[in-house]
Amino acid sequence: MADFSAGGGILNRRALLKASGVGLAAGFLAPAQAEEEWMTRAGESPGKYGAQSAFADLSRERVGGHEFGAGAGSSSTPLQKLNGTITPNSLHFERHHSGIPAINPDRHSLTIVGAVKRPLRFSYEDLHAYPMETYVYFLECSGNSYRNTLASPANVTAGALSGLVSCAEWTGVPLHYLLDEAGLESSAGWVIGEGADAAALTRSVPMKYMLDNAMLAMYQNGEPIRPSQGYPMRLFLPGCEGNISVKWLQRLKVQNTPAYTRDETSKYTDLLKDGTAEMFSLRMEVKSLITSPSGKMQLNRKGVYEISGLAWSGEGAISKVEVSADGGKTWAEAVLQSEPKSLALTRFRIPWQWSGAPAVLQSRATDNRGNIQPTRSAALQRYSRAGFYHYNGIQSWQVTALGEVKNAFA
């Protein structure tokens, strides 16, 4: 008998391979396989720069922003087509405010000015002489999943809905090395980071964040970061809203106050019900979603499936992910893959037996600071109904009796 651990067919998380009588139709004999053409002649020669299989069909999806003009907008990671936790560089989400600049690194530098003893300029080449560090971090746009704040659920894929989050191994120079060399004045409380794109995107960073774990990132998953991620260098603030990790970083201005730039006042602030707005809401909240099965997928048979998804928190590491197949009435704890890393995506898995009856799949993440992912209705209580940043409500995927999987507000 199947070993259930929650309602709606959630199986014991360690029982996937033991589940009997519910797997792929037993006794079905596949026809003998003919020799395929790739078995009988030499394939392509080694190439210079790899490409995906012609059959893999991986691509990002434009999320919007066309209305602002060429170059603006965003594209999202196809979370439902990936597994593990690392996002390939070609599929890392993008959000640009005036397009991707084509920067020649020989004509780009980082300057540190303002309340420092020695204003300094660093060339791209010289920065390679500094001690670098390597970490796996997620990056999430604070507008991720905004469509779940709207009045009706968008029937789209997990990636189109919540793919403004990605995870990579980032390598670069800890910023405290460079700030120390410039010599901080006693008044230094904030560092204003400015990009070299046409939008000159600029954000104010509290000094505490800068000296703690901020990085001047130059490599992503082992290769120089792509132009779309800030080549030749970007600011990286782990766990914080993506917008503050300023791409194409060209200047750090040290001063005693924030600059209150356009992108930290008019945008990227969170309107409350009383009409006031929260400013410098920098940390991304604990969050998760099931990536399989997920929106626009089709279940073509009853039986056992692996529910799999991603969880993360801007405040630390994921400590627990629970999964429900009955819309949150009962929950079972999923398996976390390997040791969850702080400020990185964590993969979770649990087996599920689909009986063919309608079901609502949900996941609920908890981090090691005790933060628990809220329900959608609780998440919406936090801000004005018109608010759309920092949404981290529980994602519901409705499975119909026909096996269709759809975004739902449960």
Partner 1 sequence: MPLRNHIFVLIAALLLAGAAPGAVGEQLSHALKPALGTKMSDVKASIVSPDGSGLPRGNGSVFAGEQLYKIKCASCHGIDGKQAGNLLVGGLNSLASGQPVKTVGSFWPYATTLYDYIARAMPYNQEKSLSVDEVYAITAYVLKLNGILGHSDTLDEISLPRVEMPNRYGFVELVP
List the x/- string, 142-181, binding to partner 1 by CB under 8 A.
-----------------------------------xx-xx
Q: How far is the CB of 273 from partner 1 (least distance, A)?
A: 7
- Which residue among 198, 211, 335, 380 contacts partner 1 (CB under 8 A)? 198
Full DSSP string of 200-241 = --EEEEEHHHHHHT-EEEEEETTEEPPGGGTTT-EEE-TTBB
Print burial letters for 322-357: b (CB count within 10 Å at least 16), e (below 16): bbbbbbeebbbbbebeeebbbbbbbbbbbbbbbeee
8 A C-beta contact, residue 255 and residue 202: no
Take residue 251 and report the two structure tokens written for it: 């200047």
- Which residue among 89, 105, 130, 154 contacts partner 1 (CB under 8 A)? 130
SS3 assignment, position 176 = helix
Positive or negative torsion for Cα 14, 19, 23, 26: positive
Strand order through the sheet with 346-354: 287-292, 303-312, 346-354, 335-336
14 lies in the site for partner 1, by CB under 8 A: no
Q: How far is the CB of 263 from partner 1 (least distance, A)?
A: 9
Pick between residue 262 and residue 296 the one whose CB is nearest to partner 1. 262
Q: How far is the CB of 281 from partner 1 (least distance, A)?
A: 5
List the x/- string, 32-71, binding to partner 1 by CB under 8 A.
-----------------------------------xxxxx
8 A C-beta contact, residue 114 and residue 254: yes
Task: Specify the stretch interacting with partner 1 by CB under 8 A; choose among 31-39, 111-119, 233-241, 327-335.
Answer: 111-119
Q: How far is the CB of 43 from partner 1 (least distance, A)?
A: 38
Phi/psi for 226 (5° steps) reads -75, 155
Residues that bind partner 1 (CB under 8 A): 67-71, 97-98, 111-113, 118-123, 125-131, 133, 177-178, 180-182, 192, 194, 198-202, 206, 208-209, 250-251, 253, 255, 257-262, 265-266, 269, 271-282, 384-386
